[in-house]
Amino acid sequence: MSVKDFATILHPAIAVFYVFPLIGITTYYAWQARQRRLQAKEQGKSKIPSSAGPEHLKVGKWLSASVVGITLLGMAQPIIKKLVIDSQNWPANATRFFLIVGFFIATIASLVLLYRAKTPLWRGVFATLCGAGLVIIGFQNFQAGDGNFYPLVFRRDFEWQVSHFYYGLGAAMLMIFSLAIVPDIYKDRQHRWRKAHALLNVVALLLFIGQGFTGTRDLLEVPLSWQQPFVEQLYINNCQQQPCQVIVPENPEAPAE
């Protein structure tokens, strides 16, 4: 594997060994906290430790930052690859690249300030800026050598309903929203924000499950650098359509001429 190949699998690797375990831990503490509240309401006490709620809050904040971070990392790799590494016209792409870098910095700064914001107004402002940054970065296009425009970050627009990009963007948006409403959950005596938080995070959990499936599928379509020219030929010959006839040499053991 080349350095380019390692850069390609960095996003899924971090998701597997760090982000997805956090999802499991956060879900466990969320269930524990809910069960404790229900038991305390019905029986007046619960055997579940009172630390379940604070632990859910702490790990949930880690998860929100991790999901936004892994989303930015997943976008950064193809952007750098297409605008810098594989670019045949760097002078023309330089301004575009540094502008996108500015959006990355602004998005990260908005996330940091969201953690520090105290009032609902500023939490709403920084949450909106952070989400807008993800959308702006994710929907950038570039002009290829054939004169056509293509997405910098592959979006699978032809079947958006099973797109890893859209699942990930949706999950990141829900994490940002959940982070922004945390103080309101504890102030709301009618528990409307708590119910909204629970409902939206069930949706987020389903999106994370979808991420597991779509991410695995997409990895099957990403060749190693030395395989890429051969895989591209399959798409050039429209082999992604079924049925597809692949012509096999009569003597596959023979060396290529």
> What gap in Å lies between CA 194 and CA 186, rounded to an integer?
8
Q: pLDDT band at residue 93, thresholds of 50, 70 and 90? A: confident
**In contact, 74 and 11? CB cutoff 8 Å:** yes
Residue with tokens 């895989």: 231
Residue 137 has pLDDT above 80, yes or no: yes
CA 102 to chain centre: 19
pLDDT bin (cut points 50, 70, 90) of residue 248 is: low
The kind and range of the H/E element at 200 are helix 192-221
Could you tell me if residue 245 is inside a domain?
no
The rounded mean pLDDT for the chain is 89
Its domain, for residue 222, covers 3-236
Which residue pairs from 18-21 have beta carbons closer than 8 angstroms and sit at least 24 positions apart in sequence? 18/66, 19/63, 19/66, 19/67, 19/70, 20/208, 20/212
- Report the alpha-carbon distance of residue 57 to residue 50 in Å, rounded: 12
252 in a domain, yes or no?
no
Q: Are 205 and 87 contacting, i.e. CB atoms less than 8 angstroms apart?
A: no
- Which of residues 170 and 85 earns the better pLDDT score? 170
50 lies in some domain: yes
What is residue 133's three-state secondary structure? helix
Structural domains of the chain, count: 1
Q: Is residue 73 part of a domain?
A: yes
What is the 8-class DSSP label of residue 255?
P
Q: What is the 3-state secondary structure (H, E, C) of the chain?
A: CCHHHHHHHHHHHHHHHHHHHHHHHHHHHHHHHHHHHHHHHHHCCCCCCCCHHHHHHHHHHHHHHHHHHHHHHHHHHHHHHHHHHCCCCHHHHHHHHHHHHHHHHHHHHHHHHHHHCCCHHHHHHHHHHHHHHHHHHHCCEEECCCCCEEECCCCCHHHHHHCHHHHHHHHHHHHHHHHHCHHHHHHCCCCHHHHHHHHHHHHHHHHHHHHHHHHHHHHHHCCCCCCHHHHHHHHHCCCCCCCCCCCCCCCCCCCCC
Is residue 257 assigned to a domain? no
| Residue 236 token pair | 């050039």
Lowest average pLDDT, out of 21-35, 155-169, 213-227, goes to 213-227
Residue 241 lies in a domain: no
User: Average pLDDT in the 52-63 region?
Assistant: 95
Say if residue 91's pLDDT is above 90: no
The per-residue pLDDT for 238 is: 74
Residue 144: predicted pLDDT: 72
Q: Give domain status of residue 127, yes or no.
A: yes
Q: In the predicted model, what is the mean pLDDT of residues 192-214?
A: 95
Q: Is residue 15 part of a domain?
A: yes
Per-residue pLDDT at 122: 97
Whether the ω angle into residue 243 lies within 30 degrees of 0, i.e. cis, is yes
